[in-house]
Amino acid sequence: MERCREKRAELVASLGGRCVKCGSRKNLEFHHKKTRTWIASQLNRWSRLKKYSEEIEAGLIELLCKKCNQRAGKPKDDEFTHDPDFVPDF
């Protein structure tokens, strides 16, 4: 489990360690720019981290805080946009 935390921390750092929308460093989540082709609940934690790593290398993931990720919603197949007027309230 510690190895998974370390790997996740490496992936977060590789993406800049902050939300690309608001700059927060708290409650960071991986946001898929396009619909992923795999189901997270069918993979163990280590396998999910491997998938995230591959997708980060391919430019398919960005880092968002929980609020911004919820605001962004599910990815659209060929389009990814943020609401430019959104300001998180934290």
Q: pLDDT tens digits for 26-57?
A: 999 999 988 888 888 899 999 999 999 999 99
DSSP annotation of 52? H
Q: What angle do CA 35, 51, 59 make, to 5 degrees?
A: 60
- With 0.95 as the threshold, say if the pTM is over it: no
Lowest-pLDDT range of 42-51, 58-67, 76-85: 76-85
3-state SS, residue 53? helix
Q: How many residues belong to the chain? A: 90
3-state SS, residue 29? strand
